[in-house]
């Protein structure tokens, strides 16, 4: 006999569908309230219509007595349809439900209660949401949903949890929420880790949400709710454990929801019974499951916060930026305190690198200058100073500033001494390239400061610090300043030293901001130092922006002159290789003049007037003549 158990609330739905031609003659209709009157031995197959809370006792009955089961959802039960890939037409649903399943499903239990879709411990948006919230949504609707979800971040707090798997492996983590699932049921948790889900492998999947910063959480939310592409890798704020049994014991009580409504208490015991329910499901249900059965448990939680310090810090509120662990903090501070100290090795390396850089400048060799950048240790005390500024650590600040001061003095005096004794006073292109600092150089310094701080905070990539030293070039501009001092060329000294100061302040500010982002200081401690150095950067930016404006004007003038072609008497004239050189008294314009013939004195005078009229200012014109034959 086929027994159809239904909810009294769905009586009209049942009566309406009785007219379908798919029903067999031996079907018996029983309301849910009389479920306990059913004699199991007389039941060949079960059908059920009702809410999730009513369906689960029928599933329990079918599981206990080994009876096959078919679910006939109402039109409103869209998530139930999607979970088990049920058809949309009632005739097709009825035919599927009446057909006993050949394959059996696993059943997930939470504290002894069947879980049809998911268990949520704590709060884990959007992992516990179904992706139907995005169906038919425009981009602007998605952005609105993103902001509404993001507003909840103020209420999210970490809780320490102890988790044990089936093999009694214990894990201590700190998380805001957990989602437990068994099937690929179109929740965000299931979509994110669909490759780990199978309906008959005897394992459940515990998806853990543990953002260490608001910025990290924003990144995951944006990818989930706004982006149209499902993340292919597990976000940094998410971890998972897959096992047949999992016990979750939070440090204090957390709300537990089973299938969005039923409540449970912590600790939570989750257990999977493998292949125990013959449930009629759609063909695509099995297609969505991972076909490879794995006997091994899988765990990926190493990147989640687990130490007591992080748990206490994150338990108050999720910070804007991540929080570095005590181990990271101690390791970095030990290195920076050591590197910030002034010692003979530091000075010796600086003098040697200065000698290499200065000779490289004189012989106009960029490869020699790059070699000097690699040798120079000037970046180390600058990064130490930035951390001192950040943490208001007087010792780090004083040691870093002292090392920078004596290092700068050693470089400038060494380069000045070499320039005084070298019988060459020619300005090479390597020197000239460091005499026109602009706001773009500040941007290079800022990016280099970010890179330097990031590299210093991660021991695995410390080798990259050499590349940062090359990018920002601290010693070469100081060496050029020293050469200017040796030649008594104060314009040269000032401009080259301005480039060094630009690099210094840009690195200090950017490195300090990066250390804040990496969690080495709370923002309220760093605020004073950051504002001070931001003001310094703004002051340095004034001449840099002026130089940048000048550079834009120079490019415009060069473009104007390079396109200048005209006839002078009987000769066709064109200017090429135009360069503008700024002098304290009068700027110079150096160019090549390609002419069809030799110009006389009067024609040269007219050429000069034409050039000056084109640029609209007075300048000394130095031309090299080339003749078109």
What secondary structure letter does DSSP report for 35? G
pLDDT reading at 469 higher than 60: no
C-alpha–C-alpha distance, residues 277 and 48, integer Å: 14
Query: Mean pLDDT over residues 241-251, rounded?
Result: 93
| Tokens representing residue 538 in the block | 């703004």
Residues forming a β-bridge with 386:
none
Most confident of 149-153, 249-253, 462-466: 249-253
Number of H helices, E strands in the chain: 21, 22
> pLDDT grade, residue 219 (50/70/90)?
confident
Residues forming a β-bridge with 5:
30, 48
Matching fold, domains 2-100 and 113-316: no
Condensed to tens digits (0 to 9), the pLDDT of residues 511-550 reads 888 888 777 776 777 788 889 889 999 998 888 887 777 7
Q: What percent of the chain clears pLDDT 70, i.e. is strictly above it?
A: 94
Query: Mean pLDDT over residues 49-73, rounded?
Result: 92
pLDDT reading at 409 higher than 90: yes
pLDDT reading at 471 higher than 80: no
| Tokens representing residue 23 in the block | 């029903």
Query: Mean pLDDT over residues 312-324, rounded?
Result: 71
Q: Where are the domains of the chain?
A: 2-100, 113-316, 326-547, 563-627
Condensed to tens digits (0 to 9), the pLDDT of residues 585-619 reads 788 888 888 888 888 888 888 888 888 888 888 88
Query: Mean pLDDT over residues 574-584, rounded?
Result: 81
pLDDT reading at 264 higher than 60: yes
Lowest mean pLDDT among 78-87, 315-324, 374-383: 315-324
Query: Mean pLDDT over residues 84-88, rounded?
Result: 90
More confident residue, 265 or 89: 89
Lowest mean pLDDT among 179-183, 231-235, 484-488, 508-512: 231-235
Strand order from edge to edge, sheet including 177-181: 262-264, 256-258, 119-122, 177-181, 204-209, 238-243, 298-300
Average pLDDT value over all residues in the chain: 85
DSSP string computed for 319-334: -SS----HHHHHHHHH
C-alpha–C-alpha distance, residues 543 and 141, integer Å: 46
**Quick one: pLDDT at residue 222?**
83
Condensed to tens digits (0 to 9), the pLDDT of residues 436-455 reads 888 888 888 888 888 888 87
| Tokens representing residue 567 in the block | 């006839």
**Quick one: pLDDT at residue 119?**
93
Q: Are 144 and 128 in contact (CB under 8 A)?
A: no
More confident residue, 10 or 459: 10
Of residues 268, 294, 260, the one with CA closest to residue 208: 268
C-alpha–C-alpha distance, residues 570 and 191, integer Å: 78
Condensed to tens digits (0 to 9), the pLDDT of residues 23-33 reads 887 889 999 98
C-alpha–C-alpha distance, residues 458 and 387, integer Å: 15
**Quick one: pLDDT at residue 367?**
85
Q: What percent of the chain clears pLDDT 90, i.e. is strictly above it?
A: 27
pLDDT reading at 54 higher than 80: yes
C-alpha–C-alpha distance, residues 326 and 304, integer Å: 15
**């998380």: which residue's tokens?**
175
CB atoms within 10 A of CB 309: 14
HEC sequence for 125-168: CCCCCEHHHHCCCCHHHHHHHHHHHHHHHHHCCCEEEEEECCCC
Query: Mean pLDDT over residues 63-90, rounded?
Result: 90
Which residues have C-beta within 8 Å of that of residue 139, sequence separation ≥ 6?
A: 226
More confident residue, 136 or 9: 9
More confident residue, 355 or 473: 355
Torsion from C-alpha of 309, 310, 311, 313, nearest 10 degrees: 90
**Quick one: pLDDT at residue 329?**
66
pLDDT reading at 464 higher than 70: no
**Quick one: pLDDT at residue 617?**
81
Range 2-100 has CATH code 2.50.20 = no
C-alpha–C-alpha distance, residues 469 and 475, integer Å: 9
pLDDT reading at 343 higher than 90: no
More confident residue, 160 or 332: 160
Instruction: Work out whether strand 588-595 and strand 238-243 pair parallel, antiparallel, or are unpaired.
Output: unpaired
| Tokens representing residue 273 in the block | 């019974």
**Quick one: pLDDT at residue 323?**
63
pLDDT reading at 295 higher than 80: no
* CATH topology assigned to domain 113-316: Tumour Suppressor Smad4 (2.60.200)
């Amino acid at each position: 006999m086929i027994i159809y158990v239904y909810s009294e609330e769905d009586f009209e739905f049942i009566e309406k569908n009785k007219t379908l031609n798919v029903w067999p003659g031996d079907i018996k209709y029983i309301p849910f309230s009389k479920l306990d009157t059913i004699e199991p031995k007389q039941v060949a197959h079960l059908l059920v219509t009702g809410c999730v809370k009513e369906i689960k006792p029928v599933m329990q009955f079918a599981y206990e007595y080994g009876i096959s089961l078919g679910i006939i959802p109402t039109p409103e039960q869209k998530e139930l349809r999607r979970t088990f890939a049920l058809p949309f037409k009632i005739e097709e649903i009825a035919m599927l439900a009446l057909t006993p399943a050949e394959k059996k499903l696993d059943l997930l239990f939470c504290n002894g209660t069947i879980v049809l879709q998911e268990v949520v411990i704590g709060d884990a948006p959007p992992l516990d949401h179904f992706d139907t919230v995005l169906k038919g949504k425009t981009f602007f609707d998605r952005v609105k949903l993103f902001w509404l979800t993001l507003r909840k971040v103020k209420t999210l707090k970490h809780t320490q949890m102890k988790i044990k798997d089936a093999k009694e492996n214990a894990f201590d983590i700190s998380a805001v929420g957990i989602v437990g699932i068994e099937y690929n049921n179109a929740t965000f948790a299931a979509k994110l880790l669909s490759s780990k889900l199978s309906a008959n492998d005897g394992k459940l999947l515990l998806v853990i949400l543990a953002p260490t910063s608001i910025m990290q959480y924003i990144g995951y939310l944006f990818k989930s709710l706004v982006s149209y592409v499902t993340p292919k890798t597990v976000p940094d704020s998410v971890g998972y454990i897959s096992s047949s049994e999992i016990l979750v014991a939070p440090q204090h009580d957390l709300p537990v929801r089973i299938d969005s409504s039923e409540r449970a208490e912590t600790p939570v015991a989750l257990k999977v019974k493998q292949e125990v329910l013959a449930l009629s499901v759609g063909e695509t249900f099995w297609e969505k499951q991972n076909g490879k059965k794995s006997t091994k448990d899988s765990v990926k939680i190493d990147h989640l916060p687990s130490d007591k310090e992080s748990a206490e810090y994150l338990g108050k509120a999720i910070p804007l930026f991540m929080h570095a662990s005590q181990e990271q903090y101690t390791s970095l501070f030990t290195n920076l305190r050591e590197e910030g100290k002034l010692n003979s090795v530091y000075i010796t390396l600086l003098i040697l690198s200065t000698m290499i850089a200065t000779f490289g400048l004189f012989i106009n060799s960029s490869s020699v200058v790059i070699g000097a950048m690699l040798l120079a240790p000037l970046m180390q005390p600058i990064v130490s100073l930035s951390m001192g500024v950040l943490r208001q650590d007087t010792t780090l600040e004083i040691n870093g500033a002292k090392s920078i001061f004596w290092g700068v003095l050693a470089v400038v005096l060494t380069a000045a001494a070499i320039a005084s004794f070298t019988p060459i006073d020619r300005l090479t292109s390597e020197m000239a390239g460091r005499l026109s600092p602009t706001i773009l150089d500040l941007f290079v310094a800022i990016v280099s400061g970010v890179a330097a701080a990031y590299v210093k905070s991660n021991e695995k990539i410390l080798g990259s610090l050499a590349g940062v030293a090359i990018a920002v070039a601290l010693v070469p501009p100081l060496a050029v300043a020293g050469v200017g001092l040796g030649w008594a060329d104060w314009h040269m000294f000032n401009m080259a030293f301005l480039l060094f100061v630009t690099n210094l302040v840009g690195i200090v500010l950017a490195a300090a901001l990066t250390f804040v982002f990496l969690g080495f200081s709370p923002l309220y401690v760093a605020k004073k130092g950051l504002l001070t150095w931001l003001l310094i950067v703004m002051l340095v930016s004034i001449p840099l922006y002026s130089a940048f404006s000048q550079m834009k004007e120079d490019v415009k003038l060069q473009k104007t002159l390079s396109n200048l072609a005209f006839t002078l008497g009987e000769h066709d004239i064109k200017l090429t290789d135009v360069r503008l050189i700024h002098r304290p008294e009068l700027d110079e314009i150096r160019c090549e003049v390609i002419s069809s013939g030799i110009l006389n004195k009067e024609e040269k005078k007219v050429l000069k007037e034409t050039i000056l009229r084109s640029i609209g200012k007075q300048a000394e014109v130095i031309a090299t003549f080339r003749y078109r034959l």
